[in-house]
């Protein structure tokens, strides 16, 4: 039987989603617990591989079990056995050809920036930027990200294909905290963190809105932006 499970986790406690031989990971913890429940090795496939330090409100994974167990029973069993920094939110039975990664229609990522005073308690959960930003210009620049593009300039590492589509970019300011939400089809390695880094250049008035557009269009930037820290990034949801 194939299951689709939705989980949340505190990424600061793990070395990323992908299973590692000698480091604690989300995938590794899930496989450890599910294999105990199944009494046979279980392999977990995720909707995406979040990096070390990245959090999730709604990561999705699929896996196959040999045993006969109800969805509610499975949720209770996993939550009783797994690390307290990972929690199962939902689970359902899916068809045998379902794939958590290949069938994704939409992902939503949120990045949180603290523009106020440094807060050591939130260091693992927001980017302590601690400076004001020109949010109006950042919003204007972000509109160029919407639609189908090659995002090569914002992707770390080599790929065969850098094309994707971003449906929305949403800004929200709550006191000192600025959140930027990206809704799109596919997000590649460091893509969200690099887009935020480039938008911060606009917010610092280091580059203009037009220069940001040229950066995206050229696929090759002469401007050096920072890959913002992983701790401010959250995978909010995955839609199929």
pLDDT tens sequence across 178-204: 999 999 999 999 999 999 999 999 999
Cβ–Cβ under 8 Å, residues 81 and 75: no
Range(s) of the domain holding residue 115: 106-239
Mean per-residue pLDDT, 71-89: 98
DSSP-assigned beta bridge partners for residue 107? 184, 238
pTM: 0.95
* DSSP, residue by residue, 141-156: HHGGGSEEEE-GGG--
Please determine, for residue 222, whether its predicted confidence score (pLDDT) is greater than 80: no
DSSP-assigned beta bridge partners for residue 112? 179
Task: Give a yes or no: residue 202 inside a domain.
Answer: yes
Kindly state whether residues 80 and 143 are assigned to the same domain.
Answer: no
Kindly state whether residues 176 and 196 are assigned to the same domain.
Answer: yes
Instruction: Say what the pLDDT of residue 96 is.
Output: 97
Residue where a domain stops, chosen among 62, 94, 126: 94
Catalytic residue among 10, 22, 51, 174: 51
Chain centre distance of CA 156: 15
Check if 97 is active-site: no
């Amino acid at each position: 039987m194939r299951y689709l499970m939705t989980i949340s986790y505190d990424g600061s406690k793990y070395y990323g989603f992908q299973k590692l031989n000698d480091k604690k990971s989300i995938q590794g913890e899930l496989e450890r617990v599910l294999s105990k429940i199944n009494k046979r090795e279980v392999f977990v496939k995720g909707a995406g591989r979040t990096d070390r330090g990245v959090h999730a409100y709604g990561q999705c994974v699929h896996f196959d079990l040999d045993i006969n167990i109800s969805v509610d029973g499975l949720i209770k069993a996993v939550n009783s056995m797994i690390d307290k920094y990972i929690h199962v939110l939902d689970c359902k039975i899916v068809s045998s050809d379902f794939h958590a990664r290949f069938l994704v229609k939409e992902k939503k990522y949120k990045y949180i920036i603290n523009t106020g005073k440094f807060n050591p308690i939130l260091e693992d959960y927001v980017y302590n930027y601690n400076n004001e930003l020109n949010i109006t210009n950042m919003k204007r620049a972000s509109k160029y990200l919407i639609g189908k593009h090659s995002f090569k300039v914002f992707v770390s590492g080599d790929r065969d294909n850098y094309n994707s589509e971003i449906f929305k970019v949403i800004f929200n300011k709550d006191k000192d905290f600025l959140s930027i939400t990206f809704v799109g089809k596919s997000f590649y390695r460091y893509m969200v963190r690099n887009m935020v880094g480039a938008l911060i250049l606009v917010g610092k008035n280091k580059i203009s809105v037009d220069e940001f557009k040229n950066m995206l269009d050229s696929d090759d930037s002469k401007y050096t932006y920072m890959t913002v820290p992983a701790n401010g990034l959250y995978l909010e949801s995955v839609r199929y």
